[in-house]
Chains A and B, each alone.
Chain A
Amino acid sequence: MLEPLGESFMQRAILEIALIGLAGGAIGCWVVLYELSYAAESLAHSIFPGLVLAALAGVPLLLGAAPAIVIAALAIALAARAPGTSRDVGVAVVVTTMFGLGVLLALSPDSPPGVEALLFGDILGPGDADLIAAAVLALLLPAVLWLLHPRLLASGFDRGSARALGLSPGLIEAALLVLLAATTVVAVQGLGNLLVVAVLVGPAAAARQLTRRIVPMLFLAAAIAVVAGVAGLYVSYYMGTAAGASVALAIVAAYLLALVVGRLRTLRLPPRRPRAAATIG
């Protein structure tokens, strides 16, 4: 059990997945509640050309991912304005274009090998810069979410009345997307372009099965992300499976387990209706 902890690369991997899990689990709750799972996946895919360019230039992936995500967001906003184009279609067109561009760059004869690391991540080999970025994210993101919490909650609950409550739902959603983008850019280093969405959606979806309150959901999601992430690394260590994929599958397993536990709890809970019916109103 303790053997993997003796390995330096596993220590770094566990630290990286724990930091990413804390941030991804927390932001993931709002992604799930605001029904932004498709946006989360799209953002991750659309930064692929930025990752490839950064890899070609030999600079930290963060420097390629950050501008790519800004370009993708602007392109989606522009595409959605085209006549007869819905937001969904705009997202699909931009994401496909960006991802295709990335593949084109990655498979060109001049590109060095290693495109797999960009697609599936390199959780076992995070550099110092990656760990620092993940640590900054894991510290700052919960603080910003704590600050925005009441407004995120109110606007997500009843967007139609948000303005009457003095809120700007558009600004709140924009802030959420910026935080999601920042998390994606950092987490993509560890889990890659194709698997990062697992840590953004899975733990939160699992936590939602287990609680009916937002604050416990936030803590549960972060905890599930960290535990499932570390479990995935252990599976990878002992079974020799791909680390990023093992982490993603461990998160999916946690979700399925939470689904079963949630169902069982619903069945065993006493019916609530009689109490509600006893009060007129």
Chain B
Amino acid sequence: MPGQALIEADGLAVGYGGPPAIDGVSFGLRAGERMALLGPNGGGKTTLMRALLGELRPLTGALAVHGRCGTVPQTERTRLDYPVSALDVATMGALSRLPWWRRPSREDRRGAQAALARVGLGDRADATFGELSGGQRQRVLIARALVQDAVVLLLDEPFSGLDNASAAALEALIAELAGEGRGIVVATHDLDQARRSDSVLCLNRRQIAHGAPAAVLDRPTLEATYGGAIVEIPGGGKAILPSHHHHH
């Protein structure tokens, strides 16, 4: 079932000029694989994504990315008051294939329209981006990555702020896109989402663990990843108790 290798990282360290922000990262991602990226805020998830996009060069180690990576940021970062339609945003994906003096053609806009239809928003192409729901905005940004011909999709906490129905619909779409042979990396804090992935990478300034969810998502690994104790929440679920929290 695993397809060809899309990402190969071996002993990767990446930083911003000073000491490495992440160190000792080794993992592979194959076509059709969904990998969850777990870690606390500031743990290096964004740094790893920027390295995968080619924005940061490895300080040490090796990183090979076979094919184009498309990024799907949190929609809070994109400006909701910006005067663009869903189709305008999806069409932006075509720019990565064009020299700087070329404008997207009608063909490119047709491709963007098809990508919107692919993510279930064919009838919302003319809607203003900021007026769409959170889940719809995520889909538009996925469509932008599809227009880019991205074989690896990097999603930054795509489920945050979504209601259960929207999150389930988005997760189903992501599974479909993986089924078409794309590699998917999802940065998340949601352990249940991580359990449903093919693999999990735990990151807290260094790689804590990488492997199948059943092998990785145990209490010691998660406590090492988040730097605190895991407590049961009344009514179900788990939460991470930060290590600086004192019990009395």
Residues of A within 8 A of B (CB): 33, 147, 149-151, 153-154, 156-158, 160-161, 163-167, 208, 211-214, 217, 272, 276-277, 279-281
In angstroms, how far is the closest chain B Cβ from the Cβ of A203?
A: 15
**B58 beta carbon closer than 8 Å to chain A:** no
Contact of B82 among A151, A157, A280 (CB under 8 A): A157
State the CA gap A213–B89 with chains docked (Å): 12
In angstroms, how far is the closest chain A Cβ from the Cβ of B17?
A: 15
Q: In the complex, what residues of B have CB within 8 A of residue A154's CB?
A: 92, 95
Contact of A163 among B55, B85, B93 (CB under 8 A): B55
Taking a contact as CB atoms under 8 Å apart, the answer to whether B95 and A167 are in contact is yes
Taking a contact as CB atoms under 8 Å apart, the answer to whether A153 and B166 are in contact is no
- Known A-B contacts A150-B92, A150-B95, A164-B70; the reply to A276 vs B136 at CB < 8 A is yes
Q: In the complex, what residues of A have CB within 8 A of residue B132's CB?
A: 276
In angstroms, how far is the closest chain A Cβ from the Cβ of B108?
A: 10
- Known A-B contacts A157-B79, A165-B96, A167-B95; the reply to A281 vs B133 at CB < 8 A is yes
**B18 beta carbon closer than 8 Å to chain A:** no
- Known A-B contacts A151-B100, A280-B165; the reply to A157 vs B53 at CB < 8 A is no
The chain B residue sitting closest to A159, CB to CB, is B77
Within 9-40 of B, Cβ neighbours of A (below 8 Å) are at none
In angstroms, how far is the closest chain A Cβ from the Cβ of B182?
A: 15
State the CA gap A281–B135 with chains docked (Å): 4
Contact of A164 among B71, B124, B169 (CB under 8 A): B71
- Known A-B contacts A157-B78, A157-B89, A281-B133; the reply to A213 vs B83 at CB < 8 A is yes
**B181 beta carbon closer than 8 Å to chain A:** no
**B170 beta carbon closer than 8 Å to chain A:** yes
Residues of B within 8 A of A (CB): 53-55, 69-71, 73, 77-79, 82-85, 88-89, 91-93, 95-98, 100-101, 103-104, 120-121, 124, 128-129, 131-133, 135-136, 139, 144, 148, 165-166, 169-170
Taking a contact as CB atoms under 8 Å apart, the answer to whether A153 and B133 are in contact is no
Taking a contact as CB atoms under 8 Å apart, the answer to whether B79 and A164 are in contact is no
How many A-B contacts if CB must be within 8 Å?
91
Interface centre among B88, B135, B165 (most CB of A within 10 A): B88
Taking a contact as CB atoms under 8 Å apart, the answer to whether B95 and A214 are in contact is no
- Known A-B contacts A161-B71, A164-B70; the reply to A214 vs B83 at CB < 8 A is yes
State the CA gap A242–B158 with chains docked (Å): 56
State the CA gap A208–B84 with chains docked (Å): 12
Q: In the complex, what residues of B have CB within 8 A of residue A279's CB?
A: 120, 124, 133, 136
State the CA gap A149–B100 with chains docked (Å): 11
Taking a contact as CB atoms under 8 Å apart, the answer to whether A158 and B73 are in contact is yes
Contact of B93 among A153, A156, A165, A272 (CB under 8 A): A165
State the CA gap A214–B91 with chains docked (Å): 14
State the CA gap A149–B92 with chains docked (Å): 11
State the CA gap A167–B98 with chains docked (Å): 10
State the CA gap A10–B243 with chains docked (Å): 75
In angstroms, how far is the closest chain B Cβ from the Cβ of A146?
A: 8
Contact of B131 among A149, A150, A153, A276 (CB under 8 A): A276
Contact of B84 among A147, A153, A163, A165 (CB under 8 A): A153
Contact of A276 among B104, B120, B133 (CB under 8 A): B133
Q: In the complex, what residues of A have CB within 8 A of residue B69's CB?
A: 164
Taking a contact as CB atoms under 8 Å apart, the answer to whether A213 and B85 are in contact is yes
The chain B residue sitting closest to A166, CB to CB, is B96
State the CA gap A81–B133 with chains docked (Å): 41
- Known A-B contacts A150-B104, A153-B88, A165-B148; the reply to A281 vs B136 at CB < 8 A is yes
The chain A residue sitting closest to B101, CB to CB, is A147
Taking a contact as CB atoms under 8 Å apart, the answer to whether A153 and B92 are in contact is yes
- Known A-B contacts A151-B100, A212-B128; the reply to A163 vs B53 at CB < 8 A is yes
The chain A residue sitting closest to B46, CB to CB, is A160
State the CA gap A212–B81 with chains docked (Å): 9
Taking a contact as CB atoms under 8 Å apart, the answer to whether A151 and B95 are in contact is yes
Q: In the complex, what residues of A have CB within 8 A of residue B169's CB?
A: 280-281
Interface centre among B82, B83, B124, B136 (most CB of A within 10 A): B83
Taking a contact as CB atoms under 8 Å apart, the answer to whether B170 and A281 are in contact is yes
State the CA gap A158–B139 with chains docked (Å): 15
Q: In the complex, what residues of A have CB within 8 A of residue B55's CB?
A: 163-164
Contact of A214 among B78, B84, B136 (CB under 8 A): B84
Taking a contact as CB atoms under 8 Å apart, the answer to whether B83 and A158 are in contact is no
State the CA gap A279–B169 with chains docked (Å): 11
